[in-house]
Amino acid sequence: MTKIIAFVRRPGSSFNQAISAKPKNQPINVKLACLQHDRYIVALEEANAEVVSLPAINEYPDAPFLEDTTVILDNTAVACPNKEKSRRGEGTSIHNKIKKYKPITTLPDSVTLDGGDVLNTEEKIFVGISDRTNMGAVDALAKLTKKPVVPIKVLLGLHLKTSVTYLGKNTLILNSSSIDTAALRGFKWIETGKANPYAANCLAIGNTVLMSKASNALADKIHRRGFKVLELDISEFEKADGGITCLSIILNES
C-alpha cells in the first residue's frame, strides 16, 4: 500500500516580508497565517497524508512555500535552483529529510527552476516557462525521467500551477486565459471561470481535493467529477502569491 507523505513548514515571524506582487497596504497577518497553516495540516491528515512538519526558519520569509525547493520524480528528488536569491538556501533542511526516501539530484548552474512550475501527470511532465523557470529546466528534467517533459508558456501569474493543477482521472482544473493550453488538449478541463485567481491551484491526494475558498460553483464542479472537496481559507498565503500546492511537498512511498 502506498503511503503519502506531506512535508510542510510552519510560517516564521518574518513571513510578512515574503516576496509579493500585492500592494503593501495588504500586510500579511503572521498569527492568522499560522492558524491557517494549522488547518491546512488538519486537511492533509483528513486526506490520509502523513505530515512531516519542519520548523520555521526566520531568515527565509518565503520558506512556508516549500514546494518551490524540490521536484519529486519517480527515482529521485530534484533540488531546485531558485532564481530568487532570497530563496536560495531554503531547501537544505528539507532535502535532509527527503533523502531518507529518495536520492537528491542537483541541476546545472544554467538552470533556474521553481517547483511550482512543474505539473506531473501519469503520462507527461509539464514545465511552466515563467519568470522563475527557464527552458534549461525542461532539458535537465528530461534527463531524469522516462516521461516526456513538455514546456508550457506562462502568460499570467507567478507559476504554471497558479493556473493549472492535475486532479487525477485525466482531469485538470485551470484558468485557460493564463497559460498556453495547446499541450493540454488531451485532458478533461474544469475551468475556474471568474473565481478567486488562486482557485486553479488545488491539491489532489487520492480522491480528496484541497482548494482555496473560491466559489461554491467551482467546488461543485469538482465534486461532480467524483472528488471529495475540502475548502480552506489561505488568504494570508495568497497575499504572498502562494496557493494550496505551494505549502507542501507530496511524496508517495510504496
Q: Is the pLDDT of residue 23 over 80?
A: no
* CATH at residue 66: 3.75.10.10
CA 33 to CA 10: how far, in whole Å? Answer: 9
Q: Is the pLDDT of residue 28 over 70?
A: yes
Query: How much is the pLDDT for 25?
Result: 59
Per-residue pLDDT, averaged over 89-106, amounts to: 96
Q: Is the pLDDT of residue 21 over 90?
A: no
Q: Is the pLDDT of residue 20 over 80?
A: yes
**148: domain range?**
3-253
Nearest by Cα to 231 from 65, 54, 51, 42: 42
CA-based diameter of the chain, in Å? 48
Reported confidence tier of residue 254, pLDDT bands at 50, 70, 90: confident
Per-residue pLDDT, averaged over 221-236, amounts to: 95
Q: Is the dihedral of CA 151, 247, 251, 196 positive or negative?
A: negative
Tell me the three cell numbers of residue 150: 513538455
The DSSP call for residue 179 is B
- Split into its structural domains, the chain has a count of 1
Q: How far is CA 89 from CA 6, 42, 79, 93, 130, in A?
A: 20, 28, 11, 9, 21
Q: Is the dihedral of CA 220, 120, 196, 65 positive or negative?
A: positive
At 159, which helix (H) or strand (E)?
Answer: none
Per-residue pLDDT, averaged over 223-229, amounts to: 95
Ranges 12-26, 65-79, 90-104, 208-222: which has the least confidence: 12-26
Reported confidence tier of residue 105, pLDDT bands at 50, 70, 90: very high
Query: How much is the pLDDT for 24?
Result: 63
Q: Is the pLDDT of residue 16 over 80?
A: yes
Residue whose C-alpha cell is 531546485 = 80
Residue whose C-alpha cell is 467546488 = 219
Per-residue pLDDT, averaged over 107-131, amounts to: 97
The chain-wide mean pLDDT, for the chain, equals 95
Helical H segments across the chain, by residue range: 30-46, 91-98, 135-142, 160-163, 216-224, 235-238
